[in-house]
Amino acid sequence: MPENPDSRIPRIGAFVLETLTTGMYTNPLDTLREYVQNSFDAIRDAERDNLLSSGAGRIEISVDKEARNLTLRDNGTGIPVDDVHSRLVSIGMSSKSIQTDAGFRGIGRLAGIAYCKKLVFNTQANGETDTSSVTFDCDELRQAMSPRMKHVKELSDVIGSHATVTTEKTRKKDHFLEVRMEGINEAGQPFLEWKQINTYLCQAAPVGLDTQSFQHAGTIHQWLKDHNISVPMVSITISAGSLSGYQVYKPYLKLTYTTIQEKHKIHVKGIRFFPEDADPHSPFWGWYADTNCPGTFGDDTVGGFRLRKANIGIGMADRMTEIFAEAAESYARFNKYFMGEIHIQDPNVIPNARRDGFEDSSEWAAIRKSLIEFAHERSREAYQLSQARNLDIDRLVGAAEREREAAEKKTLTGLASKEEKGKVLEKIDRQIGKLEAAKRADRKDDERKEIDRAQRELQKTRHAVESETTFAAQNLNPSLDKKQRKIISEIIGILYHVLDEGPFGKARDAILAKYQIPDKEDER
């Protein structure tokens, strides 16, 4: 380190900036999310100040692939000339409130440095007659903050010498902030691919549901209205080449999806909510699609529960996959059997700096606990459905038939005791349960009929078993006296307890053959 003139002020090396910006995010497009978040906050401020009517906020992204530029512009409050330096040049001095704003750390704004030659912010605040412009020379900055630099420079010196602030008079009344990434480099290629931008933003940005295409969007909106919950939203459009002003929506669109291997169709039958009695003060609320749950969603943008805070995606589907894994390791895969969102409302639950999870807190821990339980329930549901579905129809119906035959045989030869009767009923019920589940899964019509038939017959047998009140010992030869009959009955009961099913059947049959009145069937 160079000599410090005032040893009481800790000095910060420029390479720290790299850790705070590029080192922070895993996906280059996370930078775009930072800009969207900033714009989103500015728009919500503008709405609070009545500069914009609710819903009039716009974020317009345009990409010029040939010139390798990306521009993002919002019609939020803009930044007053006097604040430009503290808000656009200083680092981490953001005036944002953790409670009301989605982005608040004032760091993300510089993340673009890694991906372009020049990073330019243009802005005008409402009521002002100047537009301000801050230009960061990214090539120089990157070099100065490289950990490979032999002479470490002070962070504020570096930024001070590579950022230019200018103001210009304007006659136009406006309020806006525009971010321009000029001369986007190889690492920033995703910023030039509008398809990737759309795929990213539709999952991460605070946009609305596509009510025109997603038939269940109305159900969700109605539920929110009934529960007095509001979800903040902003309009984002993308323009690039032939694409002009394409409106970004959340990716939920269809009533039918396919599983990842395209083997099964996933049918969205309705929407479920949890907790069902949520209100604006609940720590969280969520919705998810009621489906036949046949497997992992093939569409990567919709599969899995997604956490959102202030309607901004936190960690895509990964956080909930972890929560499912916590319910049980083997349940991790079930997250992507579902499609839904979990909106965190608790103001004390705060996204971490990378915005791919939440800071540890007792509030977050409590929510986590509820979510693990929820994941547990969903996994069991998915598991049952998948068990039932994976069974081959012949095996499924075959097992039910075998259970039915065994039960019928027992009613014929006589149940050993009340206890055995209970066991038989239990077995029948289990089979009926499997058939029920199999019907909920996707089945062809003829298969469904076959399952229905097996289920009806099993029900009939169940009824017969249930109404059976005479047990094996009661059919014993009337020549035996009451005491003898009691002893034989007890012996059969004891054998039932100590022997396995096979040997027991054999022993019972042998005893009955000797002491029972001849079977009706044998008379034929």
**In the window 222-261, what residues touch other proteins (CB under 8 A)?**
235, 237, 241-247, 249, 253-254
CA 81 to chain centre: 42
The residue among 167 and 199 lying less far from other proteins, judged by its C-beta, is 199
**Residue found under tokens 């020049």:** 118
Phi first, then psi: give them for residue 248, nearest 5 degrees: -85, 130
- Any contact of residue 54 with other proteins (CB under 8 A)? no
* Pattern 178-207, other proteins, x by CB under 8 A: ----------------xx--x---------
The residue among 242 and 261 lying less far from other proteins, judged by its C-beta, is 242
Distances (CA, A) of 74 to 41, 78, 171, 177: 10, 8, 19, 6
The residue among 63 and 344 lying less far from other proteins, judged by its C-beta, is 63
Residue 250 CB, nearest approach to other proteins (Å): 11
The residue among 143 and 199 lying less far from other proteins, judged by its C-beta, is 199
Residue 153 CB, nearest approach to other proteins (Å): 43
Residue 130 CB, nearest approach to other proteins (Å): 30
- Any contact of residue 218 with other proteins (CB under 8 A)? no
**What DSSP state is assigned to residue 129?**
S
Residues comprising the chain, all counted: 524
Residue 214 CB, nearest approach to other proteins (Å): 9
The residue among 147 and 245 lying less far from other proteins, judged by its C-beta, is 245
Stretch that binds other proteins, among 118-126, 209-217, 444-452, 513-521 (CB under 8 A): 209-217
E-assigned strand segments in 39-144:
58-64, 69-74, 116-124, 130-137
Which one-letter amino acid corresponds to residue 508?
Answer: R
The residue among 4 and 213 lying less far from other proteins, judged by its C-beta, is 213
The residue among 193 and 519 lying less far from other proteins, judged by its C-beta, is 193
* Count of C-beta atoms within a 10 Å radius of residue 413: 16
Q: Which of 56, 59, 43, 54 is nearest to 245 (CA)?
A: 59
Six-digit token string for 497: 């307890």
Sheet bearing 339-344, strands edge to edge: 256-258, 265-274, 284-291, 339-344, 304-309, 312-314
Six-digit token string for 25: 């995010």
Contact by Cβ (8 Å): 265, 258: yes
Residue 246 CB, nearest approach to other proteins (Å): 6
Choice from 210, 318, 363, 468 touching other proteins (CB under 8 A): 210
Residue 102 CB, nearest approach to other proteins (Å): 22
Residue 409 CB, nearest approach to other proteins (Å): 54
CA 24 to chain centre: 23
Q: How far is the C-alpha of 425 from the C-alpha of 39, rounded, in Å?
A: 64
- Any contact of residue 212 with other proteins (CB under 8 A)? yes
The residue among 212 and 479 lying less far from other proteins, judged by its C-beta, is 212
User: In the Cβ-directed half-sphere of 480, how many Cα atoms lie within 13 Å?
Assistant: 18
Report the DSSP pairing between strands 265-274 and 256-258.
Answer: antiparallel
Instruction: Name the 3-class secondary structure at 483.
Output: helix
Q: How far is the C-alpha of 114 from the C-alpha of 155, rounded, in Å?
A: 16
**In the window 254-293, what residues touch other proteins (CB under 8 A)?**
254
Choice from 161, 170, 213, 390 touching other proteins (CB under 8 A): 213
Residue 254 CB, nearest approach to other proteins (Å): 7
Residue 69 CB, nearest approach to other proteins (Å): 17
The residue among 248 and 385 lying less far from other proteins, judged by its C-beta, is 248
- Which residues bind to other proteins, rule: CB under 8 A? 194-195, 198, 210, 212-213, 235, 237, 241-247, 249, 253-254
